[in-house]
Amino acid sequence: MSDFKRIIAKRKRQDFIFNIVGIMCTLVGIVTLGALLTDLLMDGLTRLNWTFLTSFPSRFAARAGILSSWVGTLLIMLVTALTAVPLGVSAGIYLEEYARKNWVTNLIEINIANLAGVPSIIYGLMALGLLVYQFKLGQSVLTGGLTLAFLILPIVIVATREALRTIPQGIREAAYALGSSKWQVVRHHLLPYSLGGTMTGIIIALSRAIGETAPLITIGALTFIAFLPPLPVTTQPPFLSIEWLWSPFSVLPIQMFNWVSRPDQDFVVNAAGAGLVLIVVTLLLNAIAILIRYRVRKRIKW
C-alpha cells in the first residue's frame, strides 16, 4: 500500500514539475517581448518628439527624422491594400463558393499554400527582375506596393475563406430558396456576414506588410531620401495626380535598418525611435484585429 501511495505521489510531482516548466517556457516568449519593448522605450523615447516625426533624414543624428519614411510607408500601404484586398477577397470567394473540385482548383490551392511559405525576400527578387526591369515600373512606390500586395495575398485569401466557412450552409440555402442568384447570395449575405473575420485577416496582413523590410530593400528602395513624393492633389484640373506612384521612396523599417547598421551610437538611438513608432503601429493594428475578432465571436451566434 505504501508503494501505491509513493507512485501516486511521484506522478503528482511529475505533473507539478511539468506545470512549472510549461509556465517557464511560456514566460520566455512573454518576457522577451517585454524586454524588447523596454529596450526600445529606454533607447528611443528620448528621440520621440514632433521634430523627429517632421524632419528628413540627415547626416547629423540629432537633426535626422522620419518624415519621408513614414509618408513612404503610408503610400506603400495604400497601394498594397488597394491591390491585395480586392484580389484576395475575390480569390477567397471564388475558392470557397464557386470553385468545382477539379485539378485547376487543386492547383490553385496547392499554389497558395506554397506561396504562403515563400520567404519574403524571394518576392523582392521577383519584383526586381519582373516589375522593375521587365515591366519598367522602376524603383517606385507602385513597385513597392505591388510587391507587398503579392506577399500578403495568401494571408488575405486564407482569412476570407475561413470567414466564409464559418457561415452555416442554411443561410445560403435560405437565400437560394427565395430565388437569389449565386452572386446575390454572396453580395447580400456572405460578404456582410463574413466581414468581421475578413477584416481581421486584412488588418493582420497589413500589419505584417508594414514591418516588411527585405523585399523593399531588394527592389532598391532608397535608404536616404530628403524629399516627399508629389502630392496626390493638385491645383490644376483634374486636381488628382498619380505622379506619386512613380516616386522613389523609403519606408520606416528601411530607415531603421539604415540607422541601426551605423557604428555611431547617436544613430542607434534614432533607430530605436523609428522602431518605437513602427512597433506601436504594428501592435495597435494587431490590437484592433483581436478586438474585431473578439466582438464578432461574441455577437454572432448562428
Partner 1 sequence: MKEIPALEHPVAAAADLGMGSPSGNAPSVTKRLSYIKERFIEVLLFLAAFSSVAITVGIVGTLLYESASFFAYVSLKEFLTGTLWTPLFASPRFGILPLITGTLVTTVVALVVALPIGTVVAIYLSEFAPSSVREIVKPALELLSAVPTVVYGYFALQFMSPLLQKLFPGLPTFNMLSAGVVMGIMIIPYVSSLSEDAMRAVPMSLREGAYAMGANRIITALKVVYPAALSGIVASYILAISRAIGETMIVAIAAGMQPNLTLDPREPAATITAFIVQVSLGDLPHGSIGYQSIFAAGVTLFIMTLIFNILGYILRKRFREVY
CB of 33 to partner 1, least distance (A): 6
124 binds partner 1 (CB under 8 A): yes
108 binds partner 1 (CB under 8 A): yes
229 binds partner 1 (CB under 8 A): no
Pick from 6, 9, 21, 242 the residue near partner 1 by CB under 8 A. 21
Q: Which stretch binds partner 1 (CB under 8 A): 14-22, 47-55, 60-68, 234-242?
A: 14-22
DSSP notation for 177-246:
HTT--HHHHIIIIIHHHHHHHHHHHHHHHHHHHHH--HHHHHTT--S---SPPPPSB-SSTT-B--GGGG
Q: Which stretch binds partner 1 (CB under 8 A): 46-54, 167-175, 230-238, 275-283?
A: 275-283
Hey, what amino acid is at 227?
A: F
Cell of 145: 506596393
How many CA within 13 A on the CB side of residue 294?
Answer: 6
Pick from 53, 62, 82, 283 the residue near partner 1 by CB under 8 A. 283
Pick from 9, 74, 290, 300 the residue near partner 1 by CB under 8 A. 290
Give the other-Cβ count within 10 Å of 133's Cβ. Answer: 11
Cell of 56: 528628413
Q: 47, 272 in Cβ contact below 8 A?
A: yes
179 binds partner 1 (CB under 8 A): yes
227 binds partner 1 (CB under 8 A): no
208 binds partner 1 (CB under 8 A): yes
1 binds partner 1 (CB under 8 A): no
234 binds partner 1 (CB under 8 A): no
Restricted to residues 154-173, the positions that interact with partner 1 (CB under 8 A) are 154, 157
Pick from 3, 5, 29, 60 the residue near partner 1 by CB under 8 A. 29
Bridge partners, 4 (sequence order): none
Backbone angles phi, psi at 281, to 5 degrees: -60, -45
Q: 149, 205 in Cβ contact below 8 A?
A: no
93 binds partner 1 (CB under 8 A): yes
